[in-house]
Amino acid sequence: MRKLLKKQGFAPAVVVTDKLKSYAAAFRMLGLGARHEQGLWANNRAENSHQPVRRRERKMQRFKSPGSAQRFLNLHAAVHNTFNVQRHLISRSTLRTFRAEAMTQWEAATIGG
């Protein structure tokens, strides 16, 4: 918290957090006199802005390094985009045609390539 405040350069007028009791003690220890809002939905905006970061972190947990995760995800995206078709937008016969073409491309890339 101290580093965050130092990086900001000025003391905030209002601090919005969840209902964790240790925040109040930390603010007293830092000498922060800002108004401290703790509400049921007050922190939603901050928490929702972190969702994409959290999603990436969750995917990274099984990998030893960010580089290995990136290599896998690049390959996975290419394969996923080949086979993932929005089924609700097309008919069953068109889906079968797309899947057959995807399998042909896959076989050409893996076996025949």
Give the model confidence (pLDDT) of 43-101 as tens digits.
677 667 666 766 767 777 778 888 888 888 778 777 777 777 777 788 889 988 988 98
Contact by Cβ (8 Å): 63, 69: yes
Q: Is 85 helix (H, G, I), strand (E, B) or coil?
A: coil
- For residue 102, the model assigns a pLDDT of 85
Q: What is the mean pLDDT of the chain?
A: 79
**What tokens were used for 21?**
């009791």
> Cα 48 vs. chain centroid, distance in angstroms?
10
Going from the C-alpha of 4 to that of each of 50, 63, 106, the distances in angstroms are: 16, 29, 49
- Rounded CA-CA distance 37/58 in Å is 29
Beta carbons within 8 Å of 82's beta carbon, 6+ residues apart? 102, 105, 106
Contact by Cβ (8 Å): 14, 37: yes
Query: Comparing C-alpha atoms, which of 9, 6, 32 is closest to residue 17?
Result: 32
- For residue 83, the model assigns a pLDDT of 77
Q: Whole-model pTM above 0.85?
A: no
